[in-house]
Structure 1
């Protein structure tokens, strides 16, 4: 059977992790089941209507971030003669905290533009949240045919908030297994704009947006004792979202020759190359209060089969589940410094200890995650599951 799906989501070239997620999911889905006819109803920041050669999908700009009306999204659904499944990749920074997308879904049903509607909640808020409107939105999730979440924290939080458990399914975030591990270090460095002679001793990578919730202030305190030691090099790489943090990092770059800053938005390919280049990845996150999500950077990192040190933040729950000894308390730079030094001295032990995490990376490879999505679509449509999810 031909399966017609529209994904409402940000999409590259918009600088957004959810957009990268959507693209990887679509690529894996079409690889598994070529009969999928997929469309992207994207945000307008990504530019004009286009065809994405990588995913082999048409991209229709359909909404502005957090706008209250989704009339253009509905118009584009009508333009493609409706779909079997509308799959919304939800993030509050994309669709806002109002009812706009819920009302659009109800209108799409009335106009018979969709048969089933799935929503992936990339962030779920707890009742202690400081953000107004999110809990009201989450109370309406029963209006969707299926709600996908990525972590047990998200799953049980929604159940506690009264969402029908039969409508919630947990599907882990997908993982890209790193294809650059074979590449020589000098080639990886050159591709990232780094001179090979800048790489001294034990190399630590810190990929992702440079902002407060990524814990860069904690990292700055933790690495101060390290960057004066020629046995360490720390590479901070990502787009700056916090100007104050940028100044702190730049000051440390000037005063410590072993701290490198790559100030740009990193594509998935560039993140994978950075992970292949370094000896270890550090994720010093601290989450927004009462907000549950998972880290896409963690999944890109663990696909590189390198040791990962992270904080015990809800966003890194998978690291805590599969490699708890590689985690440190949030907001504790001294413990992070100690853990980095321990890793440097016990690298082979850490690699062996991380084996369960690497196994998890294989289990969550994008094609496996896509297969679970296909099973959801088949269940909702009453299709023969064997046809959609067969090898």
Structure 2
């Protein structure tokens, strides 16, 4: 079997790296000559590492493209299975989010070992870990507490979780010989090892020493370990200096040694064999796994520890002793009692040795191999037969909760801080137009009472922002002061779109007449626009109007002339391998083919339809080529003959794709567009480059997109409306596909469109 590991790895000084090296060796040398190990090592850019031959590739922690290259490398390597050692801090992006695209692209079974599982995770930490669980075939944890957390906090199915203890090296030294070599003589030796930082609670042991030395003056305490690299970068040696001052203050210079070095494994076991008691004085319970604790027990040490999760579980059945957090008096009492009763120490030591023999690395490696072999030999699950291209069960329940939260009697607030309206930013025409479109759709499809209640709020905002010449202002402060004279052409076009849709689907005549009034006041400005997206949005609104007023030849001629402008842009910019309206793919791209799809239907123009399909296929080739939607990021966009931008991706682009494929299905009745539509919608629910959901199931809002560091947790109007419009479009398309399957006639389908 060929096994690929993704983790930190020696010579990088990291506990997970040491774990990975030991596990990899144990699996490779398990009596099966066919096992081959390859390692994809995480690189933190802080040092230059001379990795051993088994490291075939490195991933720079904060370099996103490295993760994608690693996935391709693993898939091509011939590996049968991949094992990922997960710890939030070793992967890039917010809460280590960069690991998700790698896991998603793997074509082989995946085992993920979880070294940290948080009881109170942040929103992103929880989302990342839940997605890792979903992408993994099995999750390995090292304690029963970890199993409980995964089931109760992260909703992981029990059958996906496997408990395999942390392994320990099968290394043993003679106690007396080790003490002689290390020059400890007959001292009563206490030991703590591992990276040093304030959370380790070493000061508790130092403060307890005077009470212990009073009864046992030959006690000596060794702290073996460097300051943790992250602590060193943020606070330098502040903690170690504090310990030095404390040692001096308590006059313990002859009783404490702070060994500031990363102790190699064999040297570490020499210290463990020389020790009388090993201490882990951590200051809080939130540690689900401790490699140092496991090493100490595996070497047969008497262990004394605070009751953090792993210790409280491991030191049962008289395998060690516990004392309370930050309780130097309690620690002194426990240590004095142990030194006063050598027989008790011997009993505890024997129990620890018995436990340690069951978790030596060869046995742990064998358990991982058994798990891997089961996954590799398991028959591939057949792809479920799809009755439709849309699965409505995957959609969250439709909810206007967040939209109501953002809306007051003036209109919808433009921005939000997380899920809370940001009143400082006021209102804008763009979002109120989108809101009008969304509630009009919601009332038409669902007869949603809240949508009907909100409809006049957004319509009256649009009317209020219209100038005498028919143009619109865009921005309004929270205290209702105008912030501009004339808004953008994009905002103008989106407004016409919403008015056109409302006229076609008005719930009563008053709403129709109001929408018509504002629409025709704006009409003299239709052909003054220069922005092709403003033109495209306006064309969509005109198309909706003409569906119910097909004999209005004047407006139809306006649509014809505006269509010709888009066609001209396409013809002027089209070249080999570039079938687009501009020399770049920028924002809201799907709106351009969408406008031509609408116009071709109204104008019955085959050339316009062909250009719409051609440009749509070009856009598809750059955003939907890997089985999920990857919209063009607005960080640098995608300039012709240059690299496309992945970040920052925004919900309005996903919405445009959903609407574009929907209209293509309506026009052609080809089911392939339903699949693309649903794939584009699933971008909101985690089928994206980061593999994280932008829809917030708690607030019912949608996050504002994702940057290179992870999700932008703000949930403004634009993003949440883009999600809801997409949601409603999916439901509409599902209904249409049902009629299509039953009627199978394009003429019948067109009568059923939403």
- The interval holding the TM-score normalised by the smaller chain is 0.7 to 0.9
2:275 match: 278
Distance 1:183 1:353 in 2: 19
Residues 325 and 203 of structure 1: is their aligned pair in 2 closer, same or farther, counting only changes over 3 Å? Answer: closer
Q: Which has the higher helix share?
A: 2
| Deviations 1:234-276 (CA, angstroms, capped at 9, x unpaired) | 1111102352321132235543211112111112222111111
In structure 1, the residue matched to 2:42 is: 43
1-side partners of 2:309 and 2:374: how far apart? 30
> Aligned ranges for residues 152-163 of structure 1 at < 5 Å?
152-160=144-152, 161-163=154-156
CA distance, structure 2, for counterparts of residue 176 and residue 95 of structure 1: 26
2:101 corresponding residue in structure 1: 103
| Partner residue in 2 for 1:367 | 362
Shift of 1:133: 1.9
TM-score of the two chains, using structure 2 as the length reference: 0.45
Output the CA distance in 1 between the equivalents of 2:238 and 2:49. Answer: 34
Higher relative contact order (CA 8 A, sep 6+): 1
Whether the 8 Å contact between 1:226 and 1:232 is mirrored in structure 2 is yes
2:13 pairs with 1:12: no
1:162-202 CA deviation, whole Å, 9 max, x = no partner?
A: 1121111111111223321356145530xxxxxx2x65631
Unaligned runs of 5+ in 1: 53-57, 110-114, 190-195, 385-391
User: Are the equivalent residues in 2 in contact too, given 1:209–1:239 (CA < 8 A)?
Assistant: yes
Residue aligning to 1:249: 243
- Say if 2:86 is the partner of 1:86: no
Please name the residue that 1:218 is paired with: 204
Helix, strand or coil for the counterpart of 1:179?
A: coil
Displacement of 1:322 after TM fit? Answer: 3.7
Instruction: Give the greater-gyration-radius structure (CA).
Output: 2
Partners of 1:232 and 1:349 in 2: CA distance: 18
Pairing 1:134–2:125 present: yes
Separation in 2, partners of 1:31, 1:67: 33
- Partners of 2:84 and 2:111 within 8 A in 1: yes
Partner SS, residue 11 of structure 2: coil
In the TM superposition, residue 383 of structure 1 has moved relative to its aligned partner by 6.6
- TM superposition shift of 1:14: 0.8
- Distance change (3 Å), C-alpha of 1:325 and 1:8: closer
SS in 2 for 1:13: coil
Instruction: Tell me, yes or no, if the aligned pair for 1:41 and 1:60 is still in contact at 8 Å.
Output: yes
In structure 2, C-alpha distance between the alignment counterparts of 1:48 and 1:76, rounded to whole Å: 20
Residues paired across the two proteins, number: 360
CA distance in 2: counterparts of 1:274 and 1:325, whole angstroms: 19
Residue 77 to residue 16, structure 1, CA distance change in 2 (3 Å): same
**Alignment partner, residue 265 of structure 2:** 268
Aligned-CA RMSD value: 2.4
Cα drift, residue 354 of structure 1: 4.0
* 1:323 to partner: Cα distance: 3.0
Does residue 352 of structure 1 match 2:347? yes
Contact between 1:178 and 1:276, CA under 8 Å: does it hold in 2?
Answer: no
SS of corresponding position for 1:41 = strand
Structure 2 gaps of 5+ residues are: 232-236, 380-754
Distance 1:205 1:325 in 2: 15
What residue in structure 1 maps to residue 138 of structure 2?
A: 146
Greater strand content = 1
Rounded Cα–Cα distance in structure 1 between residues aligned with 2:186 and 2:174: 19
Aligned equivalent of 2:194: 208
Residue 292 of structure 1 deviates from its aligned partner by: 4.3
SS at 1:336 equivalent: helix
Shift of 1:98: 4.2
